[in-house]
Amino acid sequence: MTRGKGKRKAVELTEEPKPGETSTEIPSSKSKKAKPDVAPETDKVVKKKIPRVLLCFTGSVATIKAKHVIAAFLKRPCDVSVIFTNAAKKFIDVDEVMRMKEENFTLKPNGVFKGVFTDDTEWRNWKTIGDLVTHIELRKWATHLVIAPLSANTLSKMANGLCDNLLTCVWRAWDFDNQRKKVFVAPAMNTAMWKNPFTGKHLASLTGFPFNVQIIDPAEKTLACGDTGVGAMAEPETIAFRVLGPVAE
Ligand SMILES: Cc1cc2nc3c(=O)[nH]c(=O)nc-3n(C[C@H](O)[C@H](O)[C@H](O)COP(=O)(O)O)c2cc1C
């Protein structure tokens, strides 16, 4: 990913370091290794037609399924980049996800796993004026913003325009005028949180004009906390199907 036009010096955006490394460069569209599919989407130009999915995980216990969610997307032709919030990292070993990327997973996927990004990445990439701003680059790159699971906390921040981490900054900078850029959320929370009036109020404020967020409803079952009711994240395959459609035969 690279910056748009301008006189600022060329800088590479880096993702989370691989286990045992300090940083990993994402190929720049201006570098010799450039590949057209990693160039950011400018507001007018889409260089490659396959979807570029920014798959985000928040501090819900359903983030333990992160690898399954990523794998479900990779079964389809798409590029996938991943964001973990700080709370999400309590539920998944980010190094394990990085290894999954290195192995390009076991399912002979049709998709390409591009990189993993966190709040640490954002600040590692930006040290001084002229450096890349990760949330802006990811916002330009992505055609689909998918938050699965969506926590009650991030939902409430989205509904109120708060932007205090990488994920909510991408959301706050999202280009709602571009109809090709889609946002999907799969809420997952304890059934008491789900039934709280704030949940319906916040979800209602995200659907319809101008945000047009598509909600992938949670399922009813016995949750990780032992309570039974609505609040479990939809199945990974259900989420990938809603966003990208069926797997090609
Ligand atoms: C064990 C545990 C499980 C949790 N599960 C959920 C959950 O499923 N859904 C949710 O909305 N919050 C859940 N939370 C609370 C969130 O982690 C907390 O609100 C956090 O601040 C969310 O941060 P984020 O939205 O930035 O990811 C859980 C907390 C703990 C300690």
What is the structure's pLDDT at 24? 40
Nearest 10 degrees: Cα torsion 223, 229, 233, 238: 120
Tens of pLDDT along 129-155? Answer: 999 999 999 999 999 999 999 999 999
For residue 229, pLDDT over 90 is answered with no
Q: How confident is the model at residue 25 (pLDDT cuts 50, 70, 90)?
A: very low
Question: φ and ψ at 116, to 5 degrees?
Answer: -120, 135
Tens of pLDDT along 47-79? Answer: 558 999 999 999 999 999 999 999 999 999 999
Rounded CA separation 162/167 (Å): 11
Exactly one of 56, 135, 169, 202 is catalytic; which is it?
135
CB atoms within 10 A of CB 104: 13
**Domains (range + CATH), the chain:** 43-244 (3.40.50.1950)
For residue 126, give the 3-state DSSP assignment.
Answer: coil
189 lines ligand 1 (CB under 6 A): yes
Q: Tell me the β-bridge partners of 165.
A: none
Residue 54: partners with Cβ closer than 8 Å, 6 or more residues away = 81, 82, 83, 138, 141, 142, 144, 145, 146, 170
- Tell me which residue of 209, 89, 208, 229 sits closest to 151, measured CA to CA: 89
For residue 1, pLDDT over 60 is answered with no
For residue 205, pLDDT over 50 is answered with yes
59 lines ligand 1 (CB under 6 A): yes
pTM recorded for the entire structure? 0.86
Residue from 65, 151, 155, 196 whose mutation best tests the ligand 1 pocket (most atoms within 8 A of CB): 151
Q: What is the CA radius of gyration of the chain?
A: 17
For residue 112, pLDDT over 70 is answered with yes
Ligand 1 atom 2, closest CA? 61
Tens of pLDDT along 154-197? Answer: 999 999 999 999 999 999 999 999 999 999 999 999 999 999 99
Instruction: Supply the mean pLDDT for the chain.
Output: 84
Ligand 1 atom 20, closest CA? 59
Q: How confident is the model at residue 232 (pLDDT cuts 50, 70, 90)?
A: very high
For residues 19-50, one letter each, b for 16 or more C-beta atoms within 10 angstroms of the residue's C-beta and e for the rest, the string is eeeeebebbbbeeeeeeebbbbbeeeeeeeeb
144 is catalytic: no
Tokens of 8: 């600022």
Residue 233, classified by CB atoms within 10 Å of its CB into exposed (0-12), middle (13-18) or buried (19+), is: buried
Nearest 10 degrees: Cα torsion 181, 239, 53, 94: 140
Percent of the chain scoring above 70 in pLDDT:
79
Cα separations (Å) of 92 from 61, 143, 175, 182, 220? 9, 25, 30, 26, 23
Q: How confident is the model at residue 102 (pLDDT cuts 50, 70, 90)?
A: confident
Tokens of 229: 């009711």
Alpha helix locations (H) across the chain? Answer: 66-74, 94-102, 119-125, 134-141, 152-160, 166-173, 191-195, 197-206, 236-244
